[in-house]
């Protein structure tokens, strides 16, 4: 099968390799012609995961129209802020027979739309799903044992994704809780910034465990307010993804938190990054959504204060430790 991968970053590169390893013909779309030419000539993505060799089954292109016309299954892995525009352009080449699976962990500002909702609005496709889980791109590309969840309202989407991606090093599970899987994947990036802050301030595993467990409670509260099922936050898409992102130095959002703790400003950090840390924008969006819904999310509010209100990390931590004197939190 010829499979389209839309997005030339680290995760797109890892997925293209995984698909090719499984014997699929992969059409890999990216914006920059230099990168596409380098992949086709050298079998390496010069900017993202350059140490990973892509098999001959991967062909890079800058022609988005080819993805829709030549591929019946498309994996969307562009940053969340660019998904709507790319989906709108790609939508002219799609029909009801296409399967769209995105691996984008974000929520659209202002509208609070999830990525599957954007794909539904900008294309005629109905067979839409989300791929999420503890998937640090470099580890997947190095073929370390990993797993993910594909969630969709269509069994065909889940089964197609599993058949394409399942390998000796990558397991794929199915779910019908699209809302839960998408919220888990998006909001965990906020918690990863908090975890990076804690580690950067020199705190140990007790603090990290506190952040992860209470962070999971926040994610679940918000997701369930939007119609998600609690069990989705107890599996790979929830606690699994949260643990990987909060504890790994490979996480871009974790590194943002560490650098903030070292005294760097948010502007300095963003200017120096060559990849998107989704948690920065997601923090603002989730904070606004939680306020609108009346969902209690103190860690998210604390990260928001650090990122956008110039409050020091230590002041926020002190407030978080003091808040339960006055507000009783229920588990989980």
CATH 3.30.420.40 correct for 2-176:
no
Q: Which pLDDT value is given to residue 276?
A: 76
Span 238-250, pLDDT tens digits = 999 999 999 998 8
Q: What's the CA gap between 329 and 332, in Å, rounded?
A: 9
Burial tier of 124 (Cβ tally within 10 Å: 0-12, 13-18, 19+)? exposed
Span(s) in the chain for CATH 1.10.1040.10? 186-323
**186-323, which class in CATH?**
mainly alpha
Q: How far is CA 63 from CA 54, 79, 176, in A?
A: 19, 18, 33
Q: Which pLDDT value is given to residue 274?
A: 75
Q: What's the CA gap between 1 and 23, in Å, rounded?
A: 8
Q: Could you tell me if 6 and 44 are in contact, meaning their C-beta atoms sit under 8 angstroms apart?
A: no
Q: Which pLDDT value is given to residue 326?
A: 43
Q: Does residue 138 have an active-site annotation? A: no
Catalytic-role residue among 105, 127, 188, 281: 188
Span 285-327, pLDDT tens digits = 999 999 999 999 999 999 999 999 989 888 888 887 765 544 4
Q: Is the pLDDT confidence value at 330 over 80?
A: no
Q: Which pLDDT value is given to residue 194?
A: 94
- The percent of residues in the chain predicted with pLDDT above 70, rounded, is 97
Span 21-41, pLDDT tens digits = 999 999 999 999 999 999 999
Q: How far is CA 302 from CA 93, 191, 319, in A?
A: 43, 10, 8
Q: How confident is the model at residue 82 (pLDDT cuts 50, 70, 90)?
A: very high
Span 87-118, pLDDT tens digits = 999 998 999 899 999 999 999 999 999 999 99
Neighbours of 219 (CB within 10 A): 30
Q: Is the pLDDT confidence value at 328 over 60?
A: no
Span 143-160, pLDDT tens digits = 999 999 999 999 999 999
Q: How far is CA 147 from CA 58, 115, 166, 236, in A?
A: 22, 21, 9, 8
Average pLDDT value for the chain: 93
Q: Could you tell me if 212 and 230 are in contact, meaning their C-beta atoms sit under 8 angstroms apart?
A: no
Span(s) in the chain for CATH 3.40.50.720? 2-176
Chain centroid offset of residue 99 CA: 19
Whether cis (ω within 30° of 0) applies to the bond prior to 332 is: yes
Q: Which pLDDT value is given to residue 323?
A: 56
Which residue, among 178, 184, 180, 174, has the nearest Cα to 134 in the 3D structure?
A: 184
């Amino acid at each position: 099968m010829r499979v389209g991968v839309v997005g030339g970053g680290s995760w797109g590169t890892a997925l293209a390799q995984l698909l090719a390893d499984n014997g699929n013909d992969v059409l890999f779309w990216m914006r920059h012609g230099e990168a596409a030419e380098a992949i086709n000539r050298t079998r390496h993505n010069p900017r993202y995961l350059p140490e990973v060799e892509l098999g001959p089954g991967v062909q890079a292109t800058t022609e988005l129209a080819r993805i829709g016309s030549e591929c019946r299954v498309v994996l969307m892995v562009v940053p969340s802020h660019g998904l709507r525009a790319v989906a709108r352009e790609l939508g002219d080449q799609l029909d009801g027979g296409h399967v769209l699976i995105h691996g984008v962990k974000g929520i659209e500002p202002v509208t609070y739309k999830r990525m599957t909702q954007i794909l539904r609005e900008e294309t005629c496709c109905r067979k839409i799903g989300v791929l999420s889980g503890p998937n640090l791109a470099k580890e997947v590309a190095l073929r370390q044992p990993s797993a993910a969840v594909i969630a969709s309202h269509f069994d065909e989407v889940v089964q197609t994704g599993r058949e394409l991606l399942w390998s000796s090093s990558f397991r794929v599970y199915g779910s019908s809780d699209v809302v839960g899987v998408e919220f888990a994947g998006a909001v965990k990036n906020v918690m990863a910034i908090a975890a990076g802050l804690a580690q950067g301030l020199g705190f140990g595993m007790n603090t990290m465990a506190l952040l992860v467990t209470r962070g999971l409670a926040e994610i679940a509260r918000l997701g369930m307010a939007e119609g998600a099922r609690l069990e989705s936050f107890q599996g790979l898409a929830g606690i699994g993804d949260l643990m990987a992102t909060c504890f790994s130095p490979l996480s871009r959002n974790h590194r943002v938190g560490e650098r903030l703790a070292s005294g760097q400003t948010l502007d300095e950090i963003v200017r120096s990054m060559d990849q998107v840390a989704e948690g920065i924008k997601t923090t603002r969006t989730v904070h606004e959504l939680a306020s609108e819904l009346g969902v209690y999310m103190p860690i998210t509010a604390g990260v928001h204060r650090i990122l956008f209100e110039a409050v020091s990390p230590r002041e926020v931590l002190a407030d978080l430790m003091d808040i339960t004197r006055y507000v009783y939190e229920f588990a989980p």
